[in-house]
Structure 1
Amino acid sequence: MRLKNLSLALCAISSFTLSSWLYADAQLVSGDIVLGVNDEGHLNVTDIMGVTINAGSTGLTYTSVGDATSPGCLCEGWGVSAVNGGPHTGWASVSNGGISNISFDSFVSDATTATSNVHMTDLPGLLVKHEFMPFAGAPGNAYQASVTISNTTGMALSDVRYARMMDWDVPPTEFSEFVTILGSDAANVLSTSDDGFAVPDPTAIPLFDIAADPCGVDSDFVKCGPDDHGAAFVFGFGDLADGESVSFDIFYGAGEDEAEATGVLGEIGAEVVSLGYSSIFDEDLGESVPNTDSPVFFFAFSEVGGEIIFPDPTPDPIPTPEPGSLGVLALGCLGLGLFRRRRYQ
């Protein structure tokens, strides 16, 4: 696997000084990856740098081909919910539901990192922090977002949940991609699907399948498509006592091909994964197939109670199912993992 050196400058933005990075919302650059982060911790911001060659906004950009979350719909977002005398829920997404019941506290960024702090508007003691940084194991291929949900309400919270959704638009076939989801049986996973257009409301489960040929809800699937779909996940973390927090990690990135992408996921120790592939027409089959030799994007989680999906740092590429076999693919090797939630007092 080729790991690229950390870079703070691209030819398209060479005229920017460090002070140009210090503004509300941020475009973070590490190697081939540019991540666009809003104040509230969701992706897809205006591309003021001109580095996203296939859209006017930046969500998750791989500089050689463009952005994989912003063309067509600024639909990447997150949500949180808890019960405290009654259900409370809020979310943040540019296009899917906007900002609902989430109040801004602070946002600090530099050239490569950003930290967002918010609280739930009608439950001010429920705090959510997103800390974005290059993943140390592969800084040129992946960003890590460490998420911490804290209870400072003065009383216990029950049924604490977190949702994260994204619409995959993988270049150069932005609205006709193949999508994989693995790790749906992780202990903290409540629901999964390919519905990247869903409002990130953690209480709205089970999720829905939106592909023309169904991919599957709450189950793993491999290279489903081609279609204009994405990835949606809802996690449950149980109860939080007053003064208690729960943390886990999200990863956004890409490799120059499938082998590099899955290699980086092995370095990450990913437990829940979505991969997004562009499509290419196979003359022999007479149909579109996943392009495993062009940049492959990923969206992954760790510390969510699952088994590591790619334990070998250099795993074999994911086999492409034969036509018509996607709906019956068995992935029994991905058994239920240990509950590895991190708690802090």
Structure 2
Amino acid sequence: MKIQKTTLLSCLAAGLLSITGVAHAGLVLDTGAITMGVKDNGGLGFAGVGINLTGGPGDAIMPGCLCEGWGAASNGVGSYTYGDTGTYGFASSTFTSTGPANAVSTVVLSSGLTVVHTYSSAAGGSLFGVNVSIFNTSGSAVTDVRYARTLDWDVGPGHFADDFTTIYGGTTSGPGGNVLHTSFNPFAVPNPMSFRGSYGGVAANSNGVNVPGDLGAYFVLGFGDLLAGESVSFDTYIGAAFTTSSLLSAFGSVGIEAYSYTYDNDGAATYGWGFANVGLPPAIDPDPTDVPAPASIALFTLGLAGLGLKIRRKKSV
């Protein structure tokens, strides 16, 4: 998000953040290739839409439980939103749209953090780019700042038993960089202070390739301490394509460093999400001719393309 952070922080602290656009309780964003329903608090599943590939086998989130959400934490205390169960530790949420695929969700947490998700089209419309900026507006230093995202994949037509899920945590051995924890278990609130155990026959913090079953992904990122007025920023991407290789090519084009993707054995689409700028090297070669098949040993060695994140901190003046 190319904004002078000192200016943005002063606006946030005063509660005066103003973005040209139309305010909504949420919106179904549309890149032309995919649609995604976003609530004002940044959770998915608005107006009956989670994420959908145009011409694809159906929504990849809505058929089962809406076990999806995000959270942020500091000083050992987490705040989060999770599906239709509501929020914890959210003081206020605003959502402003500036175009069919462009929107900004601003959430003020009772802990004193302010989290801004900025949505836009990426990779030719096959992905939504989501810049995440976490601001310390508490007025004092905070410790152990974290961000978590969880998502239960339910890709059609089988939705559950026929789904195959992959997680790559940023290195061939598991989490690395700012990725603290990964799990195939999406069925708990995304409190960043909570880690999860083994699930689907895969140990926590382990990469897995094409693991069958009703699974999802849980990632926890860590950024250390922030002084008053400091901020951290990284990028997430979520999208879909008609082939796994096409989705991974899109991941490579935006520099994803850690990720998860799922496809249905009988379907014709792959859905995925990942992180960039999280202190790791890109996980996938951006040249689509160099992207191996998802089940290949080469892809596993590369680490199943990843969630990347780049930290940018500045102290307010």
Q: TM-score, normalised by structure 1?
A: 0.77
> Are the structure 2 counterparts of residues 302 and 339 from structure 1 closer, same or farther at C-alpha, using a change threshold of 3 Å?
closer
Cα pair 1:258 1:295 within 8 Å, conserved: yes
1:1-345 equivalence runs, <5 A: 23-46=24-47, 57-64=48-55, 65-83=57-75, 87-95=76-84, 97-109=85-97, 110-121=99-110, 123=111, 125-135=112-122, 138-176=123-161, 177-182=163-168, 183=170, 184-205=174-195, 207-211=196-200, 214-225=201-212, 227-280=213-266, 294-314=268-288, 315-320=290-295, 331-334=300-303, 340-345=310-315
Corresponding letter in the other structure for 1:218: N
- In the TM superposition, residue 187 of structure 1 has moved relative to its aligned partner by 1.0
Corresponding letter in the other structure for 2:248: T
Number of the residue aligned with 1:286: none
**Aligned partners of 1:180, 1:339: CA distance in 2, in Å?**
19
**Aligned partners of 2:251, 2:74: CA distance in 1, in Å?**
30
Structure 1: segments with no counterpart, 5+ residues? 1-20, 47-56, 281-290, 323-328
Kindly provide the CA deviation profile for residues 158-212 of structure 1, in whole angstroms up to 9, marking residues without a partner as x: 100110000000111211210001124221111101112121000111x12332x
Number of the residue aligned with 1:7: none
> What is the percent sequence identity of the aligned residues?
35
**Aligned partners of 2:158, 2:308: CA distance in 1, in Å?**
38
Cα pair 1:185 1:306 within 8 Å, conserved: no
- In the TM superposition, residue 34 of structure 1 has moved relative to its aligned partner by 0.2
Secondary structure of the corresponding residue to residue 58 of structure 1: coil
- In the TM superposition, residue 221 of structure 1 has moved relative to its aligned partner by 1.1
**Aligned partners of 1:222, 1:246: CA distance in 2, in Å?**
31
**Aligned partners of 1:23, 1:159: CA distance in 2, in Å?**
32
> Are the structure 2 counterparts of residues 159 and 170 from structure 1 closer, same or farther at C-alpha, using a change threshold of 3 Å?
same
- In the TM superposition, residue 154 of structure 1 has moved relative to its aligned partner by 1.6
**Aligned partners of 1:185, 1:277: CA distance in 2, in Å?**
23
- In the TM superposition, residue 331 of structure 1 has moved relative to its aligned partner by 4.4
Secondary structure of the corresponding residue to residue 240 of structure 1: coil
Corresponding letter in the other structure for 1:312: P
Secondary structure of the corresponding residue to residue 248 of structure 2: helix
Q: TM-score, normalised by structure 2?
A: 0.84
Cα pair 2:175 2:182 within 8 Å, conserved: no
The structure where helix makes up a greater share of residues is 2
**Aligned partners of 1:268, 1:189: CA distance in 2, in Å?**
18
Cα pair 2:164 2:210 within 8 Å, conserved: yes
Number of the residue aligned with 2:9: none
Kindly provide the CA deviation profile for residues 211-231 of structure 1, in whole angstroms up to 9, marking residues without a partner as x: 2xx123101111111x11101
Cα pair 2:293 2:299 within 8 Å, conserved: no
> Are the structure 2 counterparts of residues 339 and 66 from structure 1 closer, same or farther at C-alpha, using a change threshold of 3 Å?
closer
Kindly provide the CA deviation profile for residues 71-104 of structure 1, in whole angstroms up to 9, marking residues without a partner as x: 1111110001100xxx321101224x52111122
- In the TM superposition, residue 112 of structure 1 has moved relative to its aligned partner by 1.7
> Are the structure 2 counterparts of residues 339 and 76 from structure 1 closer, same or farther at C-alpha, using a change threshold of 3 Å?
closer
Query: Whose radius of gyration is greater, 1 or 2?
Result: 1
> Are the structure 2 counterparts of residues 200 and 320 from structure 1 closer, same or farther at C-alpha, using a change threshold of 3 Å?
same
Corresponding letter in the other structure for 1:40: N
Cα pair 1:130 1:147 within 8 Å, conserved: yes
Corresponding letter in the other structure for 2:313: R
> Are the structure 2 counterparts of residues 34 and 223 from structure 1 closer, same or farther at C-alpha, using a change threshold of 3 Å?
same
Number of matched pairs: 285
